[in-house]
């Protein structure tokens, strides 16, 4: 069976209790593998072996555009409503739901609220298009310059189940990158690889 051509899709996700709800726009099926590595600031699906990501079991999905490819539907003020965890340089915020404890995304930068047309943003769900209109959302603020680029990463396990984004398949087809972030500063970090996690990491 021939795999469908990759195209931009709107993927809904949430924490377990539904307090956190978001849409992340991904190119699916995820097109990258060891033979077709991502170029530049492209969409990435990866695992990190650092102690923070390992203990959180964070399965990173890094959308290509931090402003246009991730919108938070609720809450609209994550710094006030959600709980956060920061470590090391205290730059990155790991947001988690104060009710159910699920971590949906991590963020570095400045966020802002906007009003957007979800009808225009929806890509493949015609029934959803009929129901969605203008809505206030929260997303990264970005002027397009690399020097001010925010960092957004979604926890893949919080994306609603869909056939074209199956984490088992991504692992089996070696489309998940494994990064080494556990080596000591005096050691040289190992190159990213696709076949298995680095020491201290997980599939």
Is this structure's pTM higher than 0.85? yes
**Do residues 121 and 24 lie in contact, with contact meaning Cβ atoms separated by under 8 Å?**
no
Per DSSP, the three-state class of 91 is coil
Q: pLDDT by residue (tens digit) across 77-116? A: 999 999 999 988 888 999 999 999 999 999 999 999 999 9
For residue 117, give the H/E element and its range. Answer: strand 111-117
Q: Which CATH architecture has domain 7-33+42-179?
A: Beta Complex (2.170)
Task: Write down the pLDDT at residue 126.
Answer: 47
Q: How confident is the model at residue 1 (pLDDT cuts 50, 70, 90)?
A: low
**What does the alpha-carbon distance between residue 42 and residue 120 come to, in Å, rounded to a whole number?**
23
Q: Higher pLDDT residue, 182 or 125?
A: 182
Q: How confident is the model at residue 186 (pLDDT cuts 50, 70, 90)?
A: low
**Among 2-11, 72-81, 150-159, the least confident range:** 2-11
Task: Write down the pLDDT at residue 132.
Answer: 59
For residue 69 the two structure tokens come to: 């490819």
Quick one: which of 88, 84, 110, 78 has its CA closest to 96? Answer: 84
Q: Which residues contact 28 (CB under 8 A, 6 or more apart)?
A: 6, 7, 9, 11, 162, 164, 165
Task: Write down the pLDDT at residue 18.
Answer: 97
As a whole-number percent, the residues of the chain with pLDDT over 90 amount to 72
As a whole-number percent, the residues of the chain with pLDDT over 70 amount to 88
What are the extents of the domains in the chain? 7-33+42-179
């Amino acid at each position: 069976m021939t795999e469908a051509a990759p195209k931009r899709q709107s993927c809904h996700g949430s924490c377990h209790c539904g307090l956190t709800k978001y849409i992340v726009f991904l190119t699916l099926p995820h097109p990258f593998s060891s033979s077709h590595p991502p170029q530049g600031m492209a969409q990435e699906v990866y695992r990190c072996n650092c102690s923070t990501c390992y203990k959180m079991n964070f399965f990173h999905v890094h959308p290509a555009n931090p402003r246009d490819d991730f919108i938070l539907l609720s809450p609209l003020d994550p710094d006030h409503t959600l709980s956060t965890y920061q470590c090391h340089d205290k730059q990155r915020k790991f947001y988690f739901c104060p009710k159910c404890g699920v971590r949906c995304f991590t963020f570095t930068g400045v966020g802002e609220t906007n009003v957007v047309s979800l009808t225009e943003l929806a890509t493949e769900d015609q029934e959803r298009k009929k129901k969605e209109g203008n809505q206030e959302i929260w997303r990264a603020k970005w002027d397009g310059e690399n020097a001010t680029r925010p960092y957004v990463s979604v926890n893949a396990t919080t994306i609603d189940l869909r056939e074209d984004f199956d984490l088992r398949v991504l692992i089996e087809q070696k489309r998940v990158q494994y990064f080494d972030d556990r080596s000591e500063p005096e050691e040289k970090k190992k190159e990213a690889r696709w076949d298995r996690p680095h020491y201290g990491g997980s599939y």
